[in-house]
Amino acid sequence: MLAQDDILETHDLHVTFGRQPVLREINLQVPRGQTLALIGESGCGKTVLLKTLIGLIRPTAGKVVFDRRELAELDDKQLTQERIRFGYVFQNAALFDSMTIAQNVAFPLRQHRKYRSDEIEKIVVSRLAEVGLPRSVITKKPAELSGGMRKRVGLARALVMNPEVLLYDEPTTGLDPIMSDVINELMMRTRSRYPVTSIVVTHDMNTARKVADRVVMVYPLARLDSHESQMIYDGSPDQIDQAADPRVRQFVRGEAGERLMEMQADDQ
Amino acid sequence: MTSIFNGSIPQASRFHMSSAPQDAISGRSRGPIEAIANAIADLGALTIDWVTALGDMILFALRTFSWMFSRLPRRETLVPSLYQIGVLSLPVVALTGTFIGMVLAVQSYSQFRAMGLETRLGAVINLTLVRELGPVLAATMLAGRVGSAMAAELGTMRVTEQIDALVSMGTNPLQYLVVPRFLACLLLIPSLTIMADFMGVAGGYFYSVYILNIDWFHYWDNSQRFVGTYDLFTGVFKSLFFGAAIAIVSCHRGFNCSPGAEGVGRAATAAFVYSFVLILILDLFLGILLDAIYYSIWSDVPSLI
């Protein structure tokens, strides 16, 4: 893969909170147009990695390169410009609860574009229709919607600025199996409609198998030897069942294995 | 677990705090020297925590100022803040002012009456009100009503990733959330102070004249002789600093809220307590400064007796 094809890269990325290291020597290259699933158990640092990619968390060491520009070298204004090129779908949608659905979806447009209000309304309605929400929701407040609908509004808001990179943080967590599949379908439909690079943080193997071209598994540092790489799998979703590393196979199959013993040891 | 770290602003590390629990677990007995050493280390860690928190708050304030001067907030973010902070605080500030004016009359009456100086009550009540109690009480009510609410609101936004969502959409949260609240506190606290002063003066007058039957002419006459424009200015000028302190402290607590309902509750309480302490500290030092300025300009001060 040629370097200029990569829209996002990390080089020797380290993130440490206080004295607790969360990410160590992460070297990840994401080519333009790829859909990458970051899998791993809760607390392994995958959400931290996602937030570091957009500059919500500053790396302790190493660098994040977006479209050949290092994020740490940008000033506030440039960083703002670059962030508009991202769409971030938050785990719990993170809608502004003081605003209506229409105001939420229109928020980035009002901040960064000079559209008339009827133009904004048209865009909002069409974006909501794309994620399968009726016009009637636009006057509602986020608290009046179900979890699945809120996630869809979150996706509509992330899409409204036509981002080049979409970051999904656990898009199907907390949803019923049918709604999870609706979200999976929406992610695939978004990808087929727009030339977008997607990074999906998930621990739902159905999502990883269905939407991703490539799967990277991140392992918690606490249970890793110091010489091991934190990314214990990097490959296609089809071959993950035959992965050489037993930890990967264990995760994919969802088996407790020796971890049950660990928990018992903790209890004593 | 990752959501714990949403704050992204590093908390002060507690280098030595861990030593005591470890000893408790291992059951190792500690000698007196070690105990003293640990106490000193804990004190040091606490000092580092405080200095770090203070530095963080000052940086927060400086960044807010720089955003405030680089771009004024939009109307749709400023007007709701002005309404929430100013208009909705008026009734409670007015009520507090009225009662404190009356309480001052009740408390000082017997002493002044014993000296036969009850008409001087006008001077005592009104001077106390415009110089001290008006501004301090208006600020306290603002810290209680608005400061805690701001900390809880911003804290909830932090915990539910709404602040992260703002950043991810290319909006600076300081510019969008803190600057309007700061400006609203700064611009409206003088009006609230004047309201507290006015209602206090009215309450004090009502109680002194209608209940304690003090002669109204001499009550006003004494007020006019002893309360000057500089006294009124002192109170209003101090209130600007109180308003700024409330906004910065409360927003800072909200931004650095720890996760969960407990974190939000703690942020709201801390916002009030820190604001109140800061108001009193500022009051003392501004009082000393403004008095020094007064005496350097006018050396003659009318005596109450």
CB contact under 8 A, B170 and A17: no
CATH number, domain of A7, equals 3.40.50.300
Tens-digit pLDDT profile for residues B188-225: 999 999 999 999 999 999 999 999 988 889 889 988 88
User: Among partner residues A19, A47, A90, which is closest to B2 by beta-carbon distance?
Assistant: A47
- Of A127, A142, A162, which residue is a domain's last? A162
- Within 165-184 of B, beta carbons closer than 8 Å to A belong to 165, 167-172
Of B44 and A263, the structure prediction assigns the larger pLDDT to B44
Residue B297, pLDDT score: 85
Q: Residue A4 above 70 pLDDT?
A: no
Predicted confidence at residue B19, as pLDDT, reads 43
Pairwise CA distance, residues A26 & A28, whole Å: 6
What is the pLDDT, as a whole number, of residue A263? 59
Cβ neighbours of B164 in A, within 8 Å: 51, 56, 88, 90, 94
- Residue A75, SS3? coil
Q: In this structure, are A81 and A49 located in the same domain? A: yes
Domain limits at A17? 3-85+163-267
Is residue B96 a contact partner of residue B102, using CB atoms and an 8 Å limit? no
A181 and A217 in a common domain = yes
Cβ neighbours of residue B256 closer than 8 Å, sequence gap 6 or more:
B7, B9, B11, B56, B158, B267
Give the alpha-carbon dihedral of A124, A127, A132, A134, to 10 degrees. 20
Q: For residue B274, give every residue at least 6 positions away whose Cβ sits within 8 Å of its Cβ, in sequence order, or none.
A: B249, B253
Query: What residue in A sits closest to B74 (Cα-Cα)?
Result: A111
Same domain, A183 and A253: yes
Q: What is the ipTM of this complex?
A: 0.87
Q: Please tell me the total count of domains within chain A.
A: 2
d(CA B237, CA B228): 14
Instruction: For tokens 């701001």, name the residue.
Output: B150
User: Tokens in use for A33?
Assistant: 């147009």
Neighboring chain B residues of A84 at a CB cutoff of 8 Å: 169-170
Residues 6 or more apart whose CB falls under 8 angstroms from that of A16 comprise A22, A60
Counting one residue from chain A and one from chain B, the pairs whose CB atoms sit within 8 A come to 73
Q: Is residue A38 less than 8 Å (CB to CB) from chain B?
A: no
Quote the minimal CA–CA distance from A59 to chain B in Å. Answer: 10
8-state DSSP, A160: T
Residue B56 contacts A where some CB pair is shorter than 8 Å: no
Tell me how far apart the alpha carbons of residues B282 and B298 are, in angstroms, rounded to a whole number: 24
Q: Does B110 touch chain A (CB under 8 A)?
A: no
Answer yes or no: are the C-beta atoms of B218 and B119 closer than 8 Å.
Answer: yes
Kindly report the CA angle at B233 between B230 and B238, in degrees rounded to 5? 125
Residue A127 and residue A255 in one domain: no
- The predicted structure's pLDDT at residue A1: 43
Profile chain B (305 residues) by mean pLDDT over runs of 10 residues: 36 40 53 90 93 93 90 87 92 94 92 86 91 94 94 94 92 92 95 95 93 90 88 94 96 92 93 95 95 83 60
> Residues A162, A126: contact at Cβ < 8 Å?
no
A155 and A26 inside one domain: no
**Are B235 and B279 within 8 A, CB to CB?**
no
* Minimal CA separation from A155 to chain B, in Å: 12
**Is residue A248 pLDDT above 90, yes or no?**
no
Give the domain-ending residue among A162, A188, A207.
Answer: A162
Which residues pair with residue A200 across a beta bridge? A37, A168
* Cα–Cα distance, B7 to B31 (Å, whole number): 39
DSSP string covering A212-229, please?
A: -SEEEEE--GGGS-TTS-
d(CA A91, CA A46): 12
What's chain A's length in residues?
268
Tokens describing residue B212: 């304690």
CA distance A112 to chain B (A): 8
Distance (Å, whole) CA A96 – CA A107: 10
- Residue B17 C-alpha, separation from nearest chain A C-alpha, in angstroms: 13
Angle at Cα A51 formed by Cα A178 and Cα B55, nearest 5°? 140
Asked if residue A196 has pLDDT above 60, the reply is yes
* B20 exposure class (CB count in 10 Å sphere: 0-12, 13-18, 19+): middle
Q: Do A111 and B169 touch (CB under 8 A)?
A: yes
My answer on whether A32 and A105 are in the same domain is no
Candidate from B2, B165, B169 with C-beta closest to A48 = B2
Most confident among A150-164, A189-203, B266-280 (mean pLDDT) = B266-280
Q: What are phi and psi of A6, to 5 degrees?
A: -80, 125
Continuous segment of H or E residues that includes residue A8: strand A6-17
pLDDT at A267: 52
Domain ranges (residues) in chain B? 11-55, 71-297
For residues B198 and A116, give the distance between their C-alpha atoms in angstroms, rounded to a whole number: 46
Per the CB < 8 A criterion, the answer to whether A151 and A183 are in contact is: yes
The reply to whether A62 and A102 lie within a common domain is no
Q: Are residues A81 and A209 in the same domain?
A: yes
The amino acid at residue A159 is: L
Q: Residue A34 in contact with residue A197, Cβ under 8 Å?
A: yes
CB atoms inside a 10 Å sphere around CB B265: 15
What is the pLDDT, as a whole number, of residue B11? Answer: 40
Q: From the centroid of its chain, how far is CA B247?
A: 8
Domain shared by A112 and A231, yes or no: no
Cβ A142 vs Cβ A153: under 8 Å: yes
